[in-house]
Amino acid sequence: MTAVCETLGVARSNIAERVKQRPSKARGRPPLDEQELLQEIKSIIDDMPTYGYRRVHAILRRKARSENRPWPNAKRVYRVMKVHGMLLQRHTGASDTRRHDGRVAVEQSNLRWCSDGFEIGCDNKEKVRLAFALDCCDREAIAHVETTEGIKSEDVQDLVITAVENRFGLINTLPKPIEWLTDNGSCFIAKDTRSLLIDIGMEPCSTPIRSPQVQRHGRSLRQNLQTRLRLGKPLAGRHDRHRPTASLVRALQSLSPSQSSRLPLAKGIPGRQDTPALGHWRNLMTVTVILGPEYDKTLQTTVMDVMGQLGASVESRNWSVAGSQEIETVQARLAGQEIIIEAETYIGLSITGDEDMINEIFERVRQATQTIPT
């Protein structure tokens, strides 16, 4: 035995115990019978099927205390209920079970309108907040409201009434129902707002929480306005910024971005004279082009190489997160003009700047990759 243990490198005492095959000593007390406890739990659940193990344990403890006998602890009640499949479904905090693969765009006008809002910071640290209504078919900016305070339910109601009057004239009810698509903001889901929508014949609906398709049309218009304001002449305060903001919305009313990925300012609206503010913004003639998906690192490298070949210099790089979206922004300067490259989740890799420069960059990138459609 000694030679064998030394060869195997094990203790001699361990082998001796295994040879004897003594039964192992059980530790702790023997398990209690579960049948009686199981019957008590079933009787409670039959009367109260929504009770979890904590409430069941409380009732068992109350009953045992009244009968002057010991009661089971909560862990034992939980184990018995878990073994026999009597626990309630665990709440994970996910309150939304809707699918996130919907499509916002429609094939005809006046089938679905979407609304959203954003704010514009002025140079004196004040902010102008703007809400707008778009047609989900041609993305026409039907109406807008702006305020220096928060957007309230009354502002959204004014927006709805203005949009209906601009599209159909002075009517009390719509000729056919139109979907009013918004997010879950308090001003959009307010009781008064929904009551007005139903009264005039609209169908209020909202996008799921954390939805990737939330208001892509509205986001395009918002980015367009903010880009043009960022590229334009500095404004002193909120009173000066009201006028060009309203003019920009009116200028985009005749624009149909769905026909092309490029979003230039409208050249003019028949029957209306241009204001000085609108003329100032039209002279900028900036465009935005979607080059491809934002996750295409090869495309991003190609764009930066083309910018370098043209002599552009990078001024800043910024990265931010808004909810489930990541936005990476590169500001460059080419021939005295500012070029903005943005990679945003669910939107794509876009480039914004002077129309002639963007066209040249677009063509060079397309020739280098041969993946961007003309």
Condensed to tens digits (0 to 9), the pLDDT of residues 177-205 reads 999 988 888 889 899 999 999 999 999 98
Pick the CATH number of 285-369 from 3.40.50.10860, 3.40.190.10, 3.90.550.10, 3.30.160.110: 3.30.160.110
CA angle 144, 148, 154 (to 5 degrees): 55
pLDDT in tens, 236-247: 344 443 344 444
Scanning the chain, the segments in alpha helix (DSSP H) are: 2-8, 12-20, 35-47, 53-66, 74-83, 153-168, 191-199, 216-231, 238-251, 276-282, 297-309, 355-369
- How far is Cα 7 from Cα 329, in angstroms, rounded to an integer? 70
Q: Is the pLDDT of residue 273 over 50?
A: no
> Which residues make beta-bridge pairs with 130?
118, 146
Pick the CATH number of 112-254 from 3.40.50.300, 3.30.420.60, 3.30.420.10, 3.90.1150.10: 3.30.420.10
Token pair of 365, please?
Answer: 């990138």
Which of 227, 224, 180, 230 lies closest to 206, judged by CA?
Answer: 180
Q: pLDDT band for position 23 (50/70/90)?
A: low
Sign of the CA dihedral 104, 106, 112, 118?
positive
Query: Running DSSP on this structure, what letter comes out for residue 174?
Result: -
Domain chopping of the chain, boundaries = 35-83, 112-254, 285-369
CA angle 256, 259, 263 (to 5 degrees): 60
How many residues make up the chain in this entry?
Answer: 374
Give the model's pLDDT for residue 283.
40
Q: Is the pLDDT of residue 57 over 90?
A: yes
- Predicted TM-score of the model (pTM): 0.43
